[in-house]
């Protein structure tokens, strides 16, 4: 797959890690980026605050350049660039009068064939999370990440439309594909303050504080972003926020592409992780250690279970066939008990009263057969199976509610 590429001004400046990791992401996942020739700044917020026509003409010049490449999909990783290009694209396609004016200003012709895409859209809808998961070498198991989308990747939805504007999921899906835990939190799409942090720090700092605070209170240990301005504010200005509000956050901030490259085997240095203001390497080490511990614990548990199983098998062999086969009479007795007094039996199998109720309500012939067999053989195994039934049911109910 080949895309036209609009890096945006920050890609070799304040957001240099984003530029580096974007290129690595493309290499790892096997898609090609063709940088636009002599592209210009999109004008960002300053443009549309000052002159509407100018704010459309600046990105439209890049769209015209992209049209000449013959590629009809263009990646703009920066959220502001993405939003401005998307807006210009929409105007060119739907407002013929404005289109004429833009062409006059540019002295260029526009077809309106280029579609600007955000990196989240590309990763989830063009590449796919399965393809990403297939490339993961060092999964970020036990990482607790708050996916932070900010404003312009998901709003206004008539221009973006690839994700829900209130509870977007694309970045969460990518984080899960990388093995991390995606924390549920409420400030996913709240504004970080953008340029207000510079021009009106009294307003911007409070907006920034609210985002960091909510992430921390929701149990996140880091934030993930796909916008260089969100990164600049959350990372570079975090110390100032901590000072203003006399609270410690110490939350490392990552670009989604940085984590993707690192999980797929890159060294943190390759994507410029040491350039962050809030130290970001240490947390990755912590995650690595925790992931190894979790893996070791799982392996140990599996070994123990295997040992136990073989031991009981040996025992059964010694005592002879008569007791090795569970008594048919016993099974029958359990079956009748389960059918006639499901509540009582369920309480024996599951300690939690509410869960026992659920178990009693879902007992059918198949499940009774299985449980009766297990109860005759090994009570512990039967309890485990019962717990699994309850979990399955709870999950099914959860899915229905969605």
**Smallest separation, CB 185 to other proteins (Å):** 15
User: Helix 379-401 vs helix 365-377: angle between axes, to the nearest 10 degrees?
Assistant: 150
Sequence-distant (≥ 6) Cβ neighbours of residue 162 within 8 angstroms: 118, 120, 121, 124, 125, 170
Candidates 218, 196, 94; CA nearest to 151 is 196
Does the protein bind other proteins through residue 164 (CB under 8 A)? yes
HSE-up of residue 33 (Cα within 13 Å, Cβ side): 21
**Smallest separation, CB 90 to other proteins (Å):** 10
Q: Binding residue for other proteins (CB under 8 A) from 52, 243, 269, 300?
A: 52
Contact window for other proteins (CB under 8 A) among 136-144, 206-214, 313-321, 361-369: 206-214
Q: Binding residue for other proteins (CB under 8 A) from 34, 73, 101, 281?
A: 101
**Smallest separation, CB 82 to other proteins (Å):** 13
Contact window for other proteins (CB under 8 A) among 53-61, 68-76, 320-328, 368-376: 53-61
Cα separation of 76 and 9, whole Å? 11
Does the protein bind other proteins through residue 190 (CB under 8 A)? yes
Pairing of strands 253-255, 222-225: parallel
**Smallest separation, CB 172 to other proteins (Å):** 15
Contact window for other proteins (CB under 8 A) among 56-64, 113-121, 293-301, 365-373: 56-64
Contact window for other proteins (CB under 8 A) among 34-42, 247-255, 360-368, 378-386: 34-42
> Helix (H) and strand (E) counts for the chain?
20, 8
| Residues 164 and 288 sit within 8 Å (Cβ to Cβ) | no
Cα separation of 311 and 309, whole Å? 5
Instruction: Measure Cα distances from 93 to 105, 107, 112, 169 in Å.
Output: 17, 18, 6, 28
Does the protein bind other proteins through residue 193 (CB under 8 A)? yes
Per residue in 351-383, is it b (16+ CB within 10 Å) or e — as a string?
A: eeeebbbbbbeebeeeebeebbbbbbbeeeebb
**Smallest separation, CB 191 to other proteins (Å):** 4
Q: Is 179 left (phi over 0), alpha (psi -120 to 50) or beta?
A: left
What are residue 25's phi and psi, to 5 degrees?
-60, -45
**Smallest separation, CB 219 to other proteins (Å):** 22
Contact window for other proteins (CB under 8 A) among 24-32, 136-144, 191-199, 261-269: 191-199
Does the protein bind other proteins through residue 107 (CB under 8 A)? yes
Does the protein bind other proteins through residue 344 (CB under 8 A)? no
Q: Binding residue for other proteins (CB under 8 A) from 31, 34, 48, 73?
A: 48
Does the protein bind other proteins through residue 279 (CB under 8 A)? no
Does the protein bind other proteins through residue 316 (CB under 8 A)? no
Give me the residues that bind other proteins (CB under 8 A), please. 9-10, 12-16, 38-41, 43-54, 57-58, 61, 101, 104-107, 151-152, 155-158, 161-165, 189-191, 193-196, 198-200, 202-204, 206-207, 210, 236, 275, 277
């Amino acid at each position: 797959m080949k895309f036209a590429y609009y890096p945006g001004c920050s890609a070799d400046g304040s957001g240099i890690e984003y530029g580096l990791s974007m290129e690595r992401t493309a290499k790892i996942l096997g898609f090609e980026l063709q940088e636009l020739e002599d592209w210009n700044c999109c004008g960002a917020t300053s443009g549309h605050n000052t002159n509407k026509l100018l704010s459309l003409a600046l990105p439209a010049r890049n769209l015209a350049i992209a049209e000449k490449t013959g590629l009809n999909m263009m990646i703009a990783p920066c959220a502001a660039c993405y939003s401005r290009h998307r807006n210009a694209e929409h105007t060119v396609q739907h407002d013929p009068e404005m289109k004429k004016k833009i062409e006059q200003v540019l002295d260029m012709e526009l077809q309106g064939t280029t579609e600007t895409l955000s990196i989240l859209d590309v990763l989830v809808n063009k590449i796919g999370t399965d393809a990403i998961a297939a490339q993961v070498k060092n999964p970020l198991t036990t990482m607790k990440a708050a996916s932070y989308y900010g404003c312009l990747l998901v709003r206004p939805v008539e221009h973006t439309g690839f994700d829900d504007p209130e509870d977007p999921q694309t970045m969460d899906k990518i984080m899960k594909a990388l093995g991390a835990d995606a924390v549920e939190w409420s400030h996913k799409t709240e504004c970080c303050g953008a340029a207000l942090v510079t021009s009106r720090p009294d307003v911007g700092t409070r907006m920034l504080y609210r985002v960091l605070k909510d992430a921390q209170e929701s149990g996140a240990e880091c934030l993930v972003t796909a916008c260089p301005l969100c990164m600049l504010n959350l990372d570079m200005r975090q110390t100032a926020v901590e000072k203003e509000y006399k609270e410690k956050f110490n939350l490392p901030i990552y670009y989604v592409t940085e984590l993707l490259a690192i999980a797929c085997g890159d060294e943190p240095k390759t994507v410029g992780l040491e350039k962050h203001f809030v130290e970001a390497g240490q947390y990755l080490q912590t995650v690595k250690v925790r992931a190894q511990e979790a893996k070791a614990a799982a392996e140990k548990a599996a070994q123990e279970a295997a040992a136990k199983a073989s031991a009981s098998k040996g025992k059964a062999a010694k005592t002879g066939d008569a007791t090795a086969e569970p008594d048919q009479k016993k099974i029958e007795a359990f079956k009748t008990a389960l059918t006639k007094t499901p509540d009582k039996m369920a309480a024996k199998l599951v300690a939690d009263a509410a869960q026992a109720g659920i178990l009693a309500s879902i007992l059918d012939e198949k499940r009774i057969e299985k449980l009766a067999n297990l109860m005759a053989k090994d009570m512990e195994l039967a309890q485990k199976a019962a717990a699994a039934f309850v979990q399955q049911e709870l999950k099914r109910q959860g899915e229905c509610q969605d």
